[in-house]
């Protein structure tokens, strides 16, 4: 009777327990089981870390636009991408020799308006649009592709009559983690003429987020460099230690990005060391600032035989040679994408990927 | 059964942390180390490590006690002979 009991299969893991007690499982079974559970655990982690959407409560503080500023008229504000490409290839420290604009005092305009300053850049009301140029009463935008020494990059330079044409948007129009959308779709919903990917704020739970004048995330324990665009059109980059969110909001912060690193120092010179570990050649997206109302986006293709991408040092040098006085690195890699007139301008690595936020140029 | 699974859980969590450290070095912007989930996993790894260590120490002490009992029994048997 007792022998029959022993040989009979038991329920609820009793049989397995008996087998394990009799002799241990072979090592290869244990190792395989551990590796399988490890793989499943990593996928579950990824699911919760950056796939599943999570609602975040926005801080909701708004920075105020207001005041009057004395605008200046730039009689000549050139951009020299040809020189930049040559300098990039040669590795020489070419200076944008013609970037010193002749500045004259001009009319007084409300804060964030540059119509008088760049009067010659805008049309009287009609819209001119080609594959490389968009010109209207409010926006002057050019897209120029360059291909030099196995590096392909695109410079989108633009002048704005009103700073409110410089907008940002969230994927699916919602603030929160893990919300993704094609850059082109987000820009299309915003009605943007052109734009690039943002700083991928939604892939992280830390970092400051202030968009279109509203503070969404105040960001404690900041680690990455910060870029602030103010309502008056000025742009500043700084280290996390030097940044004070309350002071930035009080001064009139319009957009804040927290990815980085900053690419030019306080004197507008290129840098050799950066607050980032992602330094190898990669696809890149960067934003450049010349003066209030005049900016550029730069997108560099990479990770392909046609274009190997840029290091941060290369990108820093390129931004300086373009004539920027401030420049900031946004999310790169597969996210790097430039859109103009609804079409993707560059060739995103591995076909690109969805992003959590975008920067777009819209008619006010 | 649970005692047999605990060391494997510790191995798997440690391997996950190796991956987190590696990808955090490659792309720190994604905060693979500094986030609530990873902190929770680190807490779990600490608990598992302590439980495994306590069980190991207890087993070790029991084995040592048995060995000494056996030695005492043998010496007593030798004396009887």
Instruction: Out of A38, A49, A224, name the one closest to residue B37 (CB).
Output: A49
Q: Do A38 and B1 touch (CB under 8 A)?
A: no
The pLDDT of residue A309 is 96
- Residue B7 is given by DSSP the state H
The pLDDT of residue A86 is 59
Instruction: Out of B19, B30, B34, name the one closest to residue A203 (CB).
Output: B30
**Which residues in A lie closer than 8 A to residue B38 (C-beta atoms)?**
45, 49
Check pLDDT > 50 for residue A149. yes
**Which residues in A lie closer than 8 A to residue B26 (C-beta atoms)?**
277-278
Higher pLDDT, A206 or A317: A317
Q: Average pLDDT of A113-127?
A: 94
Looking at every residue in chain B, the average pLDDT score rounds to 92
**A203 near B CB under 8 A:** yes
User: Rounded to an integer, what distance in angstroms lies between the CA atom of residue A215 and that of residue A238?
Assistant: 18
The pLDDT of residue A88 is 57
Q: Average pLDDT of B50-75?
A: 95
Q: In 3-state terms, what secondary structure has residue B29?
A: helix
The pLDDT of residue A12 is 58
Check pLDDT > 50 for residue A98. no
Instruction: Out of B4, B15, B30, name the one closest to residue A204 (CB).
Output: B30
| Range name among A53-57, A305-309, B48-52 with the lowest pLDDT average | A53-57
Q: Average pLDDT of A108-122?
A: 92
Q: Please answer whether residues A276 and A260 qualify as being in contact, where contact means their C-beta atoms are separated by less than 8 angstroms.
A: yes
The predicted-structure confidence for A214-270, as pLDDT tens digits, reads as follows: 999 998 788 899 999 999 999 999 999 999 999 999 999 999 999 999 999 999 999
The predicted-structure confidence for A37-65, as pLDDT tens digits, reads as follows: 999 999 999 988 888 887 788 888 888 88
The pLDDT of residue A69 is 45
Q: Do A37 and B16 touch (CB under 8 A)?
A: no
Check pLDDT > 70 for residue A85. no
**B interface test, pick of A34, A43, A47, A284 with most B CB neighbours within 10 Å:** A34
The pLDDT of residue A11 is 57
Q: Please answer whether residues A309 and A149 qualify as being in contact, where contact means their C-beta atoms are separated by less than 8 angstroms.
A: no
**A interface test, pick of B7, B17, B29 with most A CB neighbours within 10 Å:** B29
User: Rounded to an integer, what distance in angstroms lies between the CA atom of residue A274 and that of residue A282?
Assistant: 15
Query: Binning pLDDT at 50, 70 and 90, where does residue A118 land?
Result: very high
Chains A, B: CB pairs < 8 Å: 58
Instruction: Out of A34, A276, A277, name the one closest to residue B8 (CB).
Output: A34
Query: Binning pLDDT at 50, 70 and 90, where does residue A89 land?
Result: low
Q: Report the chain B residue with the minimal C-alpha distance to residue A20.
A: B1
Q: Cβ–Cβ contacts within 10 Å for residue A67, how many?
A: 11
**Which residues in B lie closer than 8 A to residue A37 (C-beta atoms)?**
8, 12
User: Rounded to an integer, what distance in angstroms lies between the CA atom of residue A293 and that of residue A72?
Assistant: 11
Query: Binning pLDDT at 50, 70 and 90, where does residue A302 land?
Result: very high
Query: Binning pLDDT at 50, 70 and 90, where does residue A10 land?
Result: low
The pLDDT of residue A135 is 97
Q: Is B62 left (phi over 0), alpha (psi -120 to 50) or beta?
A: alpha
Q: How far is CA A145 from the centre of its chain?
A: 19
Angle at A180 between CA A298 and CA A59, to 5 degrees: 90
Give the torsion sign (CA, A121, A122, A124, A128).
positive
Check pLDDT > 80 for residue A22. no
The pLDDT of residue A319 is 97
The pLDDT of residue A78 is 40
Q: Average pLDDT of A66-84?
A: 46
Q: Do A200 and B16 touch (CB under 8 A)?
A: no
Check pLDDT > 70 for residue B15. yes
The predicted-structure confidence for A327-337, as pLDDT tens digits, reads as follows: 999 999 999 99
Q: Do A206 and B26 touch (CB under 8 A)?
A: no
Q: How far is CA A362 from the centre of its chain?
A: 17
Q: Do A38 and B29 touch (CB under 8 A)?
A: no
**A20 near B CB under 8 A:** yes
């Amino acid at each position: 009777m007792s022998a029959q009991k022993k040989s009979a299969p038991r329920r609820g893991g009793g049989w397995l327990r008996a087998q394990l007690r009799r002799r241990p499982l072979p090592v290869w079974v244990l190792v395989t089981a551990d590796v399988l559970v490890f793989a499943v655990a990593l996928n579950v982690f990824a699911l919760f870390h950056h796939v599943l959407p999570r609602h975040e409560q926005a801080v909701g503080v708004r920075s105020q636009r207001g005041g009057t500023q004395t605008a200046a008229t730039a009689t000549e504000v050139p951009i020299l991408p040809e020189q930049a490409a040559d300098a990039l290839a040669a590795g020489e420290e070419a200076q944008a020799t013609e970037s010193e604009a002749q500045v004259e005092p001009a009319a007084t305009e409300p804060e964030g308006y540059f119509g008088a300053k760049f009067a010659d850049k805008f049309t009287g009301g009609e819209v001119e649009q080609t594959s490389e140029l968009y010109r209207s009463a409010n926006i002057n935008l050019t897209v120029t592709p360059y291909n030099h020494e196995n590096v392909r990059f695109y410079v989108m330079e633009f002048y704005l009559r009103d700073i409110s044409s410089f907008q940002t948007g969230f994927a699916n129009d919602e603030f929160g983690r893990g919300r993704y959308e094609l850059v082109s779709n987000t820009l299309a919903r915003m009605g943007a003429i052109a734009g690039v990917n943002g700083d991928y704020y939604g892939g992280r739970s830390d970092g400051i987020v202030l968009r279109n004048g509203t503070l969404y995330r105040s960001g404690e324990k900041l680690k990455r460099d910060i870029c602030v665009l103010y309502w008056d059109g000025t742009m500043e980059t700084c280290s996390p230690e030097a940044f004070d969110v309350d002071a930035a909001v009080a001064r009139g912060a319009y957009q804040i990005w927290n990815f980085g690193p900053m690419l030019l120092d306080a004197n507008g010179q290129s840098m050799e060391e950066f607050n980032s570990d992602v330094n190898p050649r990669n696809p890149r997206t960067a934003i450049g600032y010349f003066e209030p109302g005049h900016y550029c986006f730069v997108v560099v293709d990479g990770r392909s035989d046609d274009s190997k991408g840029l290091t941060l040092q290369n990108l820093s040098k390129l931004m300086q040679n373009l004539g920027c006085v401030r420049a900031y690195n946004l999310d790169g890699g597969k996210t790097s994408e430039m859109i103009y007139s609804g079409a993707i301008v560059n060739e995103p690595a591995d076909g690109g990927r969805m992003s959590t936020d975008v920067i777009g140029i819209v008619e006010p | 059964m649970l005692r047999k699974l605990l060391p494997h859980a510790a191995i798997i969590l440690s391997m996950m942390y190796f991956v987190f450290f590696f990808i955090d070095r490659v792309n720190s912007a994604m905060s693979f180390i500094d986030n609530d989930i990873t902190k929770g996993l680190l807490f779990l790894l600490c608990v598992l490590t302590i439980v495994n260590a306590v069980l190991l120490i207890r087993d070790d002490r029991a084995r040592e006690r048995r060995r000494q009992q056996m030695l005492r029994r043998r010496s007593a048997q030798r004396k009887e002979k």
